[in-house]
Structure 1
Amino acid sequence: MSTNIMADFNDVLEACNNLHEKLEDKTSDRTENINKHLDLIENKLQYTVPEFQTGLEWINIGESLSFTNHLKGKIVILDFFTYCCINCMHILPDLEAVEERFSIQDGVVVLGVHSAKFDNERLSSNILSAVLRYNIHHPVVNDGQAVLWSELQIACWPTLVIVGPSGQYLYQLIGEGHREELIEFVSVAKKYYSEKGQITHQAITIRLEPSPSSPLRFPGKIYVSDDGQTVVISDTGHHRVLVTDKSGHVQQIIGGKGRGYKDGTFNNAMFSSPQGVCLLNSQLYIADTDNHVIRKADLDTGEVITVTGTSSQGNDKEGGGLGTSQEISSPWDVCVADSPDGQKNSVLYIAMAGNHQIWACMLKDVLWYKNKQLYAGTCLRFAGSGLEENRNNSYPEKAGFAQPSGITVSMKQNCLYVADSESSSVRSIQLKDGAVKNVVGGDIDPKNLFAYGDIDGTGNKAKLQHPLGVVMVTDDGPLLLVDSYNHKVKSVDISNRKCQTMLGTGKAGSTNGDNLSSIELNEPGGIACDWRNKLVYIADTNNHHIKILDLQSQKVQNLSIIFPSSASKDTDILQYNTTDGTDDVIKHGVRILLQIHLADGIYLNDQAPNSWSLYCEDTLLYDNLKESGVKLKGELTQELQQTLTIIPSTDIVREVCLKLNLFICEDSGVCRMDKKILTSNIEPSTCEETFILDLN
C-alpha cells in the first residue's frame, strides 16, 4: 500500500458516489466493482480519516479509541447519528445485523459517533440514556461539537462512513435502507484487506453500561380512562404494557418476556419498544413501534392480536390496504376519534413517526372523505406528504410533518393536536377537511427544522425543543404538552395559542414537591389527564417514573407501581418459595450447573475475571429472583463442572439465560475476551439444570 498518497477529499466522495450508482445496477458484478473501488482508494485516492479529539466522552468502552491504536487493522463503521432521529433508530437493526455477522475479532468494529441536533442531546448523560433505551451495544463517542462531522463533510443523519485498517476513508452510505449494501461492502473489504495481511484479530474490551433497575424502564406513553380508574403505561424499555388502577396497583401485564413479536395471551405476547396506548371500552390499542405494527389487547379475554402492519418497516406513503397486509413505519402514538360521517369512535388515528405522516385505521365501515367507502381494517394516510417538513396547508396530503410523536383529539374543536417533535412544534388537523395549522412552536419556513428553544409566547413565537406528547385537559382546553428536551410540561390556551411553562426547571432532574417551578423532569415522553379528579399523569421517561400532578394542590409525586406479591392467572407472576437466607439452600429449588468442554490447547485465563450472570427475558421473573436474594452473578472457578446458584422452582416452563464473560487463551499465548450466552427452559419438574459450554 502506498503511504504517500493524500487525495483531495472531494475526489474520494465522488468515487463513493460512483460506486453507489454502480451497485444500484443489479446486473453488474458487484464484488468486482467494490474491489476496483478499493484499488482506486489504495492506489490513487487515499484519504486518512482524522483522529477523534482528545477529551471526548465515550460510552460502552473503558477508554478512548483511536485509529492508530485500537482500531488499526480493523474495518470500522462510523455511525453518525443523533438520538432524536427516527431514521437513525431505523438503521440500528442493520448495525446489529453487521455485529451478528462480523465480530471485533473478525476485524470489524461498529462505532457510534453522536453528533447532536438539539442542545439537550449534547450531554453525555442524555446520550447514555438513549444508548440504554435503544439497546446499543457498541462503543459510542460524544462528538458534541460535531468536529469529525464537519471534517468529513457529513450532511445528514444517519450517515455511515466505512474506514479501512489504516484509517483510510473507504465508503459512505447516507440515510436508511442500505443493509444489503453495507454488509456486502464490509464483507468484500474485509476479504480484500485480509489478503493483504492488514486485518488484525485483537479484541477490544466492550464495557456495556449498567441498565437501570426499577419497576419501569424508560416508560414512553401513558393513558388514563375517562373515569380515572384505569391507568395504562407503555413500559417501553421492558417491552411490555402495564394496566394499573389509579393507585398504581398492577392489574394486568401485557408482554414483557423480552423484545420480540408475537400475538397470543398477555403472558406469551411479545412487543418491541411499545409507545402510544389508548383504550376504547375493553379494547386497548398499542403502537408497537419497533415492530412497525398496531396491536390490540382485549382486557376481557387476555388476548393480543395485530390490527395492522406486517412487522417489517414499510415505505408506503399512501396506504389503503387491509389489516396485516398494510405495511407501516414506526407508529409512535394513537388516539380514537369519530369518522367524517359521524360514527362515534370509529377511527384510530396514528402518529406515524417513521414516515412523517398521520394515518387512520378504520375500526368500522365508514364513509371517508370525498364519499369514499372504507371497510373496517383499512389503514391509510390521512395527512402529510411524507417529506420531513414543517409545512402547514389546507390540503392534508400537501402538509408536511417531521417525526410526529404525540397525538390527541378534541371532540368539541373537532380536530387532532399533534406533537411534531423534529420541527419542535404542535400542529392541529381539522377533522372536517384535514387542514393542517400551526398551534405553537416551529417556524414559518417549512424547511427550517432547527427553530427550537425554550421560550414562552404565542404561536410560532413560542419555542419548544422536541415535544413528544400532548393531551387536552378538557375539550375546551388547555392543551398540555411535554416539552421533552426542555424537561418541562407546558400549557397552551387554544383560543389564543399562548404557550407558557407549567412545571419544570428546564434542566434534567427528578425533584418532586409542591413548587411547580422547581419540579425536575428528565426527557418526559408522554402525558395524560384525569380531568374528573384534576390529575395529570406524566411519563418521566429517563427517570423511569410516572409523575402525578394534582392540579388542585399543585403538588407533584411519583406513582408507586405495585406488583402483586403472589402468582395469579391474570398476572402470572411467580411466587417463590422461602429461603433460609443463604445462597445455596432454597426449598424446592433448581440447582444451576455449568459444564465446560475445552478443546486441546485452549484454557481459561485464571488471572482474568471470568464471570457469569443469570438473567431472564421475563423481567418480572428476574425482578422477583433479585428480590428473593438469589445469587445471580459471580466469578467462575477453573473447575470444568461447577455449581453456580440455586433458583426457586417454577410453576410453568420458564426460559433462563446464562451470560458468560470469558478470557480464553491458547497454548500459543494468544488470548481473547469472549461473551457467551446459553439458554435453557426450566420446567416445573426440573431439580437440576446443566448448561454445557463447548470452547474450541
Structure 2
Amino acid sequence: MLTGDVNTSQQNRRARVRAPEPSGRAWLNTGGTTPRLTELRGKFVLLDFWAFCCVNCLHVIDELRPLEREFAEELVTIGVHSPKFEHEADPDALAAAVERYGVDHPVLDDPELATWRDYAVKAWPTLVLIDPEGYVVHQAAGEGHVEALRRILGELVPEHDRRGTLHRGAEHRVETPEPETTLRFPTKVLGLEGGTLLVADSARHSLVEFAADGETQLRRIGTGRRGNADGDAEFASFSEPGGMALLPERVAARVGYDVVVADTVNHLLRGLRLADGAVVTVAGTGAQWRDEPDSGAAARTALTSPWDVTWWAPAGGVVIAMAGNHTLGLFDPVAESVTRFAGTTVEGLRDGPANEAFFAQPSGLAVAAATDAGDPERLWFVDAETSALRWVEPTDGGFEVRTAVGRGLFDFGHSDGPAAEALLQHPLGVAVLPDGTVAICDTYNGAIRRYEPATGEVSTLATGVAEPSGATTSEGELVVAASTAHRLERPVPPGVTARLIEGGSQRVNRPATEVSSGEVELTVVFEPPPGQKLDERYGPSTRLEISSSPENMLVEGAGVGTELSRRLVLAEGIEHGVLHVVAQAASCDDDSEVEHPACRLTRQDWGVPVRLDSGGSRRLPLVMGGMDEQ
C-alpha cells in the first residue's frame, strides 16, 4: 500500500487494532514490577522488537534516544527482546547486553517469541506505536524511522490532548551502578611491537594499552565518555570502539598515525599515533550510511558500524568489516579514500566474485600469509549472522569470496568435524595461529574453535570463555577479549590437544512464514510520514530487489524493479527457504512552495524464512512503514 496524502489520525481511527498485552519470561529495568499496557493508558507506548545479535537493532536503540528525551512525558519505550540465537535466550546474557548497550527503558525478556507472534512481527528490528487508548497506530521494520515517528507523534499528541486521553508525566527509569573493573565489555585486542596489547574497551568508550601480561595497565586513550572528539589521549573520545589495525611503517610515516581504529557507533575510522596517544578522524562523516554512494573521499563518505579493520596488502589498504550494511569496505590512508571492496548490501551467504557476494554482518578480520602448498594470501573473516567462517583471496580477475564453515542465516550450533558439517554460533572474532590454522572466537558458544585449511577440519580448542569477541597472537599465544568477563584471557595453553564436539544442529526459534508454492503476491507496505509524499521528481521513488536461498526456490519474480508489489512464483518440491527482500522509498515534504523540501530515504532488508505448503497464504505483506489493512 502506497499513499502520500492519507491523514494519519483518520487512518489510525479506521484501523483500530487493539494492542495485545506483551508477555514473556521476565522484565528488566523495572525495579521488579511488571508493566502492563492497561496501566499505561494515557501514554503512547513504543514497542521495540530487538535481538542483541542484530546490528540494525543496536542502531535503533541509539536512534531512539533523542526521541525518548523529546517526548519524555508522553512516550514510554518498551524493548521486547526476541532472540534469534540460543545464547540470546540466556537471561544472564540478555542482562549483560542491556548493560553493554546502555538500554535504560523497560525490557521484556521473551525467549519463546510469544509477543513477536502476537504482533505478527517478521523482522528484527520492528517498531510498533500504540496510542493512549491502547490501539496500534503505526508499525515499521528496520531502522531510520525516527523522523517518521516524530511526525506521527507531533500530529497525534495534540489530538489526544484535545480529547483528554493523554496523561503527561515522565516515567522513572531504574539506574544500576556499574561494577568496578578495569575493562568493561572489551571487544577487540591488537598486539603491538614490544609485546604490549591494545584493547578496545567498548562500554568505557576508550582504548587501553596493557603490558604483555594483559593485566598491567600502561595507559588509557580517551575520556571514557561517549563522544567523537579528536586530540590528545586524555581529551579524545570514542563511541563503542571496535577493531584496530596496525599500519605498515612506511604508510604510518606518510600519514602521521600508526593504528586505524573502527569507532563503531560513531560510524568513523580514527587514527591513533602511538608515540603520544593523539587521535584524529580519518574516514567517515559521523552520520550513518543509508543509500548514498559509499565510495569517495574518506572525509565525505559515510560508513555504517565499522566493526573490525585490518591491513591487507593485496587490496592495497585497510579492509573494513562494515557490519551495518553487510559489506567489506576499503580505506586507503595515503589517498584518503574509501571504496566498497566486496558485497552488495543484501544480507545472506553467497560466494563468488567480491562484488556479487552476500555477507551477513561481517565482524572479524585476519590475514593469513601465502602457504608453501600454493594457497595465496587470504583475508579470513567471520560473518556473525550466518555463523560462518569465510575468506577472500586474489584471483586473476580480481577477488573471490569463499565459505569454509556456515550454511545460512538460520542455521547454527556447536559441532566439530568436516567443515561442511561443522557449526558455529554468531562468531565475532578471528585470528591466524602461528601454524597457519585459523582460530575462531565462537562468541555465542563461549568457545575458541580451530579450522585447518589443509584438511578442512574444525575442532574445539577451549570452552567456557565468556563471549570471546576478538583475538590476537602474542609471543606464540592466543590472547582473547573475553567480553562479558571484562578481561583478556589466554584460554588455549601451548600444546593443547584439540577436542571434537558432536553438538547438535540448531535453528532460529523464529517461526517460518507459511506461503503457498506457486503464485504468491509479495507487497511491501509503506506510507510516507505525515506531511510528506513520495518523491517522483526525478523518476520512480521506490525500489524492490528480491532473491532467494536456495536460488532455485524463486522460479519467477527475482531481480530489481520499481513497484513495491510483485508476483512471485515459488518452486514446487522445496519445503523451506529464505526470501531476501530489499525495499526502499524516497519521500519529501509535501509543500509546493518550498524550492528544496526536506527529503528522506526509507530502506529495509528482510531475510524471511518461508515454509512452502499448498495450503499456505498466497499473499506475503512486509511492513516497512505504516499499517497493513488487509
Q: Confirm whether residue 209 of structure 1 aligns to residue 153 of structure 2.
A: no
CA distance in structure 1 between the partners assigned to 2:265 and 2:218 by the alignment = 25
Gap change, CA 1:488 and 1:333, over 3 Å in 2:
same
Offset, 1:286: 0.4
Structure 1 residues without counterparts, runs of 5 or longer: 1-17, 341-345, 365-375, 505-519, 556-696
Counterpart selection for 1:159 from 107, 112, 126: 126
Offset, 1:118: 0.4
Aligned to 1:291: 266
Aligned to 2:201: 235
Aligned to 2:411, the other structure's residue is in SS state coil
CA distance in structure 2 between the partners assigned to 1:58 and 1:270 by the alignment = 29
Q: Does the CA-based 8 Å contact 1:241-1:254 persist in structure 2?
A: yes
Gap change, CA 1:203 and 1:526, over 3 Å in 2:
same
State the Cα deviation string for residues 622-672 of structure 1 (Å, max 9, x = none).
Answer: xxxxxxxxxxxxxxxxxxxxxxxxxxxxxxxxxxxxxxxxxxxxxxxxxxx
Q: How does 1:101-500 map to 2 (within 5 A)?
A: 101-103=70-72, 106-201=73-168, 204-225=171-192, 227=193, 229-247=195-213, 248-280=215-247, 281=249, 283-316=258-291, 319-339=294-314, 346-364=316-334, 376-393=335-352, 395-412=353-370, 413-432=376-395, 433-440=398-405, 442-443=406-407, 448-474=408-434, 476-500=435-459
Aligned to 2:83, the other structure's residue is in SS state coil
Deviating above 4 A after TM superposition, structure 1's stretches of 4 or more consecutive aligned residues are none
CA distance in structure 2 between the partners assigned to 1:159 and 1:54 by the alignment = 17
Q: Does the CA-based 8 Å contact 1:59-1:141 persist in structure 2?
A: no
CA distance in structure 2 between the partners assigned to 1:480 and 1:49 by the alignment = 47
Offset, 1:306: 1.2
Aligned to 1:186, the other structure's residue is in SS state helix
1:283 partner amino acid:
D
1:418 partner amino acid:
F
State the Cα deviation string for residues 58-79 of structure 1 (Å, max 9, x = none).
Answer: 334431111112x121100000
1:435 partner amino acid:
E
Q: Confirm whether residue 68 of structure 1 aligns to residue 34 of structure 2.
A: no
CA distance in structure 2 between the partners assigned to 1:434 and 1:318 by the alignment = 21
Aligned to 1:180, the other structure's residue is in SS state helix
Q: Does the CA-based 8 Å contact 2:462-2:492 persist in structure 1?
A: no
The structure with more radius of gyration: 1
Q: Does the CA-based 8 Å contact 2:24-2:115 persist in structure 1?
A: no
Q: How many residues align?
A: 481
Gap change, CA 1:148 and 1:34, over 3 Å in 2:
same
1:526 partner amino acid:
G
Aligned to 1:221, the other structure's residue is in SS state strand
Aligned to 1:536: 478
Q: Does the CA-based 8 Å contact 2:449-2:461 persist in structure 1?
A: yes
Deviates more, 1:211-220 or 1:313-322: 313-322
CA distance in structure 2 between the partners assigned to 1:84 and 1:140 by the alignment = 16
| Structure with more strand by fraction | 2
CA distance in structure 2 between the partners assigned to 1:415 and 1:184 by the alignment = 49
CA distance in structure 1 between the partners assigned to 2:292 and 2:171 by the alignment = 42
Offset, 1:124: 1.9
RMSD value over aligned CA atoms? 1.9
CA distance in structure 2 between the partners assigned to 1:482 and 1:470 by the alignment = 6
CA distance in structure 1 between the partners assigned to 2:221 and 2:54 by the alignment = 28
Q: How does 1:613-624 map to 2 (within 5 A)?
A: none
CA distance in structure 2 between the partners assigned to 1:88 and 1:63 by the alignment = 25
Aligned to 1:339, the other structure's residue is in SS state helix
Aligned to 1:93: 62
Structure of higher RCO (CA pairs closer than 8 Å, 6+ residues apart): 2
Offset, 1:420: 0.3
* Identity value in percent: 32
Aligned to 2:220, the other structure's residue is in SS state strand
2:12 partner amino acid:
L
Aligned to 2:502: none
1:469 partner amino acid:
G
Q: Does the CA-based 8 Å contact 1:382-1:434 persist in structure 2?
A: no
CA distance in structure 1 between the partners assigned to 2:84 and 2:24 by the alignment = 22
Structure 2 residues without counterparts, runs of 5 or longer: 250-256, 371-375, 498-630
CA distance in structure 2 between the partners assigned to 1:524 and 1:191 by the alignment = 49
Q: Does the CA-based 8 Å contact 2:29-2:104 persist in structure 1?
A: no
Q: How does 1:521-670 map to 2 (within 5 A)?
A: 521-530=465-474, 533-549=475-491, 551-552=493-494
Offset, 1:54: 6.6
Q: Does the CA-based 8 Å contact 2:239-2:264 persist in structure 1?
A: yes
Q: Does the CA-based 8 Å contact 2:25-2:109 persist in structure 1?
A: no
State the Cα deviation string for residues 192-241 of structure 1 (Å, max 9, x = none).
Answer: 2121111123554322333232110000000113x561211001110001
Deviates more, 1:293-302 or 1:268-277: 293-302
1:154 partner amino acid:
V
CA distance in structure 1 between the partners assigned to 2:437 and 2:453 by the alignment = 6
TM-score by length of 1: 0.67
State the Cα deviation string for residues 157-176 of structure 1 (Å, max 9, x = none).
Answer: 11000012232111101111
